[in-house]
Amino acid sequence: GDDISVQSENSFGGDFTEEPWFVTFSFPHGLVASFVPTLLAVAAVCFSVIGNNTCTLFERKITDRPSYNMTDLESYEIIAGVSYGLYVYGIQYRDEVDEFYTTQCKPYPSHVVNDDYVKAARGFSAIALVIGFPIVLLLCLTSCMKLGGRTVRVMSTLLMLVATCQLMILVFLNSERCVDNPNPVDSSYLQSQFVWAKCALHTG
């Protein structure tokens, strides 16, 4: 007999033998190649969002201060420095056992001028989030569908751009509030007699 070929079709006329283009958690690029980059990208976006809203990105320590007449040593707190974020700041204190902590973050006063370095740091941070968030969504799709080589190359290039923008946030270190005397930021706490160290990344 003659061979008879039978082709099964679905209700849309498609061939059942064709592989579906979207399957949840199918990891067509491989588990490691899909999951690890996605996890790292999601973590990077989360840390970036948190970093934009914290007051502990940068810090300046006080290297010399006027003498104090301490009447109650047990409850006395010494100002140790000031910490900066892109949009908020905080005053650092040292208690009697030399433990550093930061007060609740608060917005910069209206009289504090944002120079070009501060504006640039904020701009780079915003660009990183605007570009990075859609890329993270695409990376999440790699666990369900296979992306073309060109798409992967474009995503890789954009991720490098995001990383560069995040790095450029460090231009904040050249801003006036990192170079000049930071007393005007909060004159009620930061006395004009304080001598300040250079601005540095906050290490926790």
Contact residues for 196 (Cβ-Cβ < 8 A; gap 6+): 60, 61, 62, 63, 81, 181, 182
∠ CA 89-57-167, nearest 5°, is 135
Q: Which helix (H) or strand (E) holds 43?
A: helix 31-52
Max CA separation in the chain (angstroms): 110
- Of 69, 82, 67, 78, whose CA–CA distance to 196 is shortest? 82
Q: Are strands 195-196 and 106-107 parallel, antiparallel or unpaired?
A: unpaired
Would you state the pLDDT for residue 69?
Answer: 45
Would you state the pLDDT for residue 73?
Answer: 47
CB atoms within 10 A of CB 20: 9
Would you state the pLDDT for residue 186?
Answer: 77
- Regions of the chain with pLDDT less than 70: 1-35, 66-77, 95-102, 145, 189, 191-192, 204
Would you state the pLDDT for residue 30?
Answer: 63
Q: Are strands 88-94 and 106-107 parallel, antiparallel or unpaired?
A: antiparallel
Rounded Cα distance between 44 and 47, Å, is 5
Strand, helix or coil at 50? helix
pLDDT in tens, 78-134: 777 888 999 999 888 776 565 656 577 889 988 888 999 999 999 999 998 888 888
Would you state the pLDDT for residue 84?
Answer: 92
Would you state the pLDDT for residue 95?
Answer: 66
Which tokens in the block code for residue 32?
């490691």
- pTM listed for this prediction: 0.71
Would you state the pLDDT for residue 173?
Answer: 93
Would you state the pLDDT for residue 8?
Answer: 44
B/e letters for 36-60, b = 16+ CB within 10 Å, e = fewer, are ebbeebeebbeebeeebebbbbbbb
